Amino acid sequence: MQNRVCRHLSQVLIAFACFTAGCFETETALGPVEQASVDARLVGDFKTGENGSDDIIVRNFNGREYYIEHRTPERDTTRYAGFVVAVKDASFVHVRPLEDDGTLGKKHMILRVDRVDDGKVNLRQLNDQFFTDKPHDKTAKLRAIVEANLNNAAMYDGEESIVLTRAAK
Protein backbone atom coordinates (compact mmCIF):
# COMPACT_ATOMS: atom_id res chain seq x y z
CA MET A 1 0.00 0.00 0.00
CA GLN A 2 2.85 2.41 0.74
CA ASN A 3 4.20 2.15 -2.81
CA ARG A 4 0.72 2.66 -4.26
CA VAL A 5 0.27 5.80 -2.14
CA CYS A 6 3.72 6.95 -3.16
CA ARG A 7 3.02 6.47 -6.87
CA HIS A 8 -0.30 8.28 -6.56
CA LEU A 9 1.23 11.31 -4.89
CA SER A 10 4.17 11.41 -7.22
CA GLN A 11 1.83 11.68 -10.17
CA VAL A 12 1.29 15.21 -9.12
CA LEU A 13 4.21 16.35 -11.15
CA ILE A 14 5.55 16.78 -10.07
CA ALA A 15 3.87 15.40 -7.06
CA PHE A 16 4.88 15.95 -5.71
CA ALA A 17 4.63 15.19 -0.92
CA CYS A 18 5.46 11.70 -0.22
CA PHE A 19 6.00 10.47 3.28
CA THR A 20 6.19 6.73 2.68
CA ALA A 21 8.88 4.29 1.59
CA GLY A 22 10.12 4.42 -1.98
CA CYS A 23 9.90 8.16 -2.58
CA PHE A 24 12.94 10.29 -1.98
CA GLU A 25 12.01 13.34 0.03
CA THR A 26 14.43 15.79 1.53
CA GLU A 27 14.80 19.33 2.82
CA THR A 28 17.87 19.72 0.58
CA ALA A 29 17.49 21.01 -2.98
CA LEU A 30 19.75 20.36 -5.95
CA GLY A 31 20.00 24.10 -6.47
CA PRO A 32 18.40 27.34 -5.38
CA VAL A 33 14.93 28.24 -6.60
CA GLU A 34 16.30 31.69 -7.45
CA GLN A 35 18.27 30.10 -10.31
CA ALA A 36 15.32 28.08 -11.62
CA SER A 37 13.28 29.03 -14.65
CA VAL A 38 9.94 27.80 -15.91
CA ASP A 39 9.89 25.44 -18.89
CA ALA A 40 6.72 26.38 -20.78
CA ARG A 41 6.37 22.76 -21.96
CA LEU A 42 5.59 21.74 -18.36
CA VAL A 43 2.77 24.28 -18.07
CA GLY A 44 -0.74 23.13 -18.94
CA ASP A 45 -3.53 20.74 -18.11
CA PHE A 46 -2.64 17.07 -17.88
CA LYS A 47 -4.28 13.71 -17.24
CA THR A 48 -2.73 10.86 -15.30
CA GLY A 49 -3.74 7.97 -13.07
CA GLU A 50 -5.83 4.97 -13.97
CA ASN A 51 -7.66 5.66 -17.24
CA GLY A 52 -6.63 9.32 -17.07
CA SER A 53 -8.96 9.92 -14.14
CA ASP A 54 -6.71 12.44 -12.36
CA ASP A 55 -6.28 16.04 -13.47
CA ILE A 56 -2.96 17.81 -12.99
CA ILE A 57 -3.03 21.56 -13.53
CA VAL A 58 0.40 23.22 -13.83
CA ARG A 59 0.83 26.98 -14.01
CA ASN A 60 3.79 29.36 -14.18
CA PHE A 61 3.74 31.10 -10.83
CA ASN A 62 6.52 33.69 -11.04
CA GLY A 63 8.90 32.76 -13.84
CA ARG A 64 10.83 30.40 -11.55
CA GLU A 65 8.19 28.25 -9.87
CA TYR A 66 5.11 26.25 -10.73
CA TYR A 67 1.76 26.11 -9.01
CA ILE A 68 0.47 22.53 -9.27
CA GLU A 69 -3.03 21.34 -8.55
CA HIS A 70 -3.99 17.66 -8.38
CA ARG A 71 -7.65 16.76 -8.70
CA THR A 72 -8.75 13.20 -8.10
CA PRO A 73 -12.37 12.04 -8.26
CA GLU A 74 -13.93 11.70 -4.81
CA ARG A 75 -10.87 13.15 -3.02
CA ASP A 76 -9.84 16.60 -1.88
CA THR A 77 -7.83 18.69 -4.31
CA THR A 78 -4.16 18.93 -3.34
CA ARG A 79 -1.86 21.81 -4.22
CA TYR A 80 1.89 22.01 -4.60
CA ALA A 81 4.71 24.41 -5.41
CA GLY A 82 7.49 23.19 -7.63
CA PHE A 83 10.63 24.23 -9.47
CA VAL A 84 13.07 22.60 -11.87
CA VAL A 85 16.84 22.40 -11.48
CA ALA A 86 19.23 21.29 -14.23
CA VAL A 87 22.00 18.84 -13.36
CA LYS A 88 24.29 18.44 -16.34
CA ASP A 89 21.93 17.55 -19.20
CA ALA A 90 19.12 16.29 -16.94
CA SER A 91 16.27 18.17 -15.26
CA PHE A 92 14.86 17.46 -11.82
CA VAL A 93 11.61 18.80 -10.46
CA HIS A 94 11.28 19.61 -6.76
CA VAL A 95 7.73 19.51 -5.42
CA ARG A 96 6.51 20.62 -1.99
CA PRO A 97 2.97 20.54 -0.63
CA LEU A 98 1.18 23.87 -0.40
CA GLU A 99 -0.87 23.73 2.78
CA ASP A 100 -4.35 25.20 3.16
CA ASP A 101 -2.94 28.00 5.32
CA GLY A 102 -0.54 29.00 2.53
CA THR A 103 2.62 27.56 4.05
CA LEU A 104 4.95 25.27 2.15
CA GLY A 105 5.95 21.89 3.50
CA LYS A 106 9.58 21.70 4.65
CA LYS A 107 10.37 18.58 2.65
CA HIS A 108 9.99 18.14 -1.05
CA MET A 109 10.14 15.22 -3.39
CA ILE A 110 12.59 15.25 -6.28
CA LEU A 111 11.77 13.56 -9.58
CA ARG A 112 13.72 13.36 -12.81
CA VAL A 113 12.02 14.80 -15.87
CA ASP A 114 12.80 12.15 -18.48
CA ARG A 115 10.89 13.39 -21.47
CA VAL A 116 8.89 16.42 -22.38
CA ASP A 117 7.14 16.91 -25.70
CA ASP A 118 3.92 18.45 -26.92
CA GLY A 119 1.81 15.57 -25.63
CA LYS A 120 3.54 13.96 -22.66
CA VAL A 121 5.77 14.50 -19.67
CA ASN A 122 7.57 11.47 -18.19
CA LEU A 123 8.81 11.63 -14.61
CA ARG A 124 10.95 9.18 -12.69
CA GLN A 125 11.10 8.93 -8.89
CA LEU A 126 14.37 8.81 -7.04
CA ASN A 127 14.88 5.80 -4.78
CA ASP A 128 15.03 6.83 -1.11
CA GLN A 129 17.03 3.69 -0.22
CA PHE A 130 19.82 4.79 -2.57
CA PHE A 131 20.40 7.93 -0.51
CA THR A 132 20.14 6.33 2.96
CA ASP A 133 23.88 5.89 3.51
CA LYS A 134 24.96 8.97 1.53
CA PRO A 135 25.18 12.29 3.38
CA HIS A 136 23.04 14.79 1.47
CA ASP A 137 22.31 17.52 4.00
CA LYS A 138 23.90 20.25 1.84
CA THR A 139 23.09 21.21 -1.74
CA ALA A 140 26.65 20.59 -2.93
CA LYS A 141 26.66 17.07 -1.45
CA LEU A 142 23.29 16.11 -2.93
CA ARG A 143 24.17 17.58 -6.30
CA ALA A 144 27.48 15.66 -6.40
CA ILE A 145 25.68 12.38 -5.63
CA VAL A 146 23.08 12.97 -8.33
CA GLU A 147 25.64 14.14 -10.92
CA ALA A 148 27.78 11.05 -10.34
CA ASN A 149 24.77 8.74 -10.66
CA LEU A 150 22.66 10.26 -13.45
CA ASN A 151 22.80 7.00 -15.41
CA ASN A 152 22.82 4.64 -12.42
CA ALA A 153 19.52 2.71 -12.40
CA ALA A 154 19.90 2.14 -8.64
CA MET A 155 19.33 5.85 -7.98
CA TYR A 156 15.83 5.60 -9.42
CA ASP A 157 12.76 3.83 -8.13
CA GLY A 158 12.27 0.70 -10.21
CA GLU A 159 8.61 1.46 -10.83
CA GLU A 160 7.37 2.63 -14.20
CA SER A 161 7.67 6.24 -15.20
CA ILE A 162 4.89 8.57 -14.21
CA VAL A 163 3.29 9.78 -17.39
CA LEU A 164 1.39 13.04 -17.63
CA THR A 165 -0.60 13.33 -20.85
CA ARG A 166 -1.60 16.78 -22.05
CA ALA A 167 -5.37 17.14 -21.88
CA ALA A 168 -7.23 17.91 -25.09
CA LYS A 169 -8.50 21.45 -25.32
Residue 116 is predicted with a pLDDT of: 78
pLDDT, position 160: 66
Mean pLDDT of 112-121: 85
What is the structure's pLDDT at 22? 54
pLDDT for the residue numbered 37: 92
pLDDT at 142: 97
* pLDDT tens by residue, 41-70: 899 999 987 777 889 999 999 999 999 999
Residue 24 contacts residue 146 (beta carbons within 8 Å): no
| The pairing of beta strand 66-71 with beta strand 120-125 | unpaired
16-44: pLDDT as tens digits: 333 333 578 999 999 999 999 999 889 99
Whole-prediction pTM value? 0.83
* Domain 2-166 in CATH 3.30.1540: no
3-state helix, strand, coil in the chain (%, to 5): 20, 40, 40
pLDDT in tens, 77-114: 999 999 999 999 999 999 999 998 989 999 989 999 98
Tens digits of residue pLDDT in 127-137: 999 999 999 99
φ and ψ at 52, to 5 degrees?
Answer: 65, 30
The full set of domain ranges for the chain reads: 2-166
Q: What is the DSSP string of 57-90?
A: EEEESSSS-EEEEEE-TTS--EEEEEEEEEETTE
What's the Cα-to-Cα distance from 167 to each of 47, 118, 123, rounded to whole Å?
A: 6, 11, 17
Is the pLDDT confidence value at 125 over 70?
Answer: yes
